[in-house]
Amino acid sequence: MEIKLAEALLRRKELQQKVEVLKKFKDSQIYHQIRGERKKVTEGIDEISADFPKLDANQVTAEYDFHARQLRLIDAAIQQVNWTAPVTVDEMVMQDFVEKKKTA
C-alpha cells in the first residue's frame, strides 16, 4: 500500500498516542487487584462485596503489542523515506555546509 509521507506521519502520531495509553493500562496493577469484604449482618447471614478487574490483562497486552508493532512498522517506513528521498532546497540553504569526508 502506498501512502503519502504526511499520512504516515499522522498515523505514527496516532499510534504513539494509542501505545502510550495502552502502556499505562498494561503497567498498572489493575489486573492483580481482587478485593473482597465480608461483613457480618446478622447471625448466620453475611454480606459479601468484591471488586474484580474489568479488563483482562491478556486483552490489553495483545492490543498493546499489536499497536506497538504497527508503530514500529510505520516508523521504519518513515525512516526509509527520510534516508532515501531527495529534497529540493535553494542553494543558499547548503552554502555554508561542509560535508565531512570519511577517513579510512
pLDDT given for residue 1 in this prediction: 85
Would you kindly state where each structural domain of the chain is located, as residue ranges?
Answer: 5-80
pLDDT given for residue 72 in this prediction: 95
Q: What's the half-sphere exposure (Cβ side, CA atoms, 13 Å) at 33? A: 7
This prediction has a pTM of 0.60
**pLDDT tens, position by position, for the chain (104 residues)?**
888 889 999 999 999 999 998 888 777 766 555 566 666 666 677 777 666 666 677 888 888 899 999 999 999 999 999 899 888 888 888 888 777 666 65
Q: How far is CA 95 from the centre of its chain?
A: 40
pLDDT given for residue 93 in this prediction: 84
- Tracing cell 503497567 back to the chain, one arrives at 27
Q: How far apart are CA 35 and CA 52, in angstroms?
A: 7
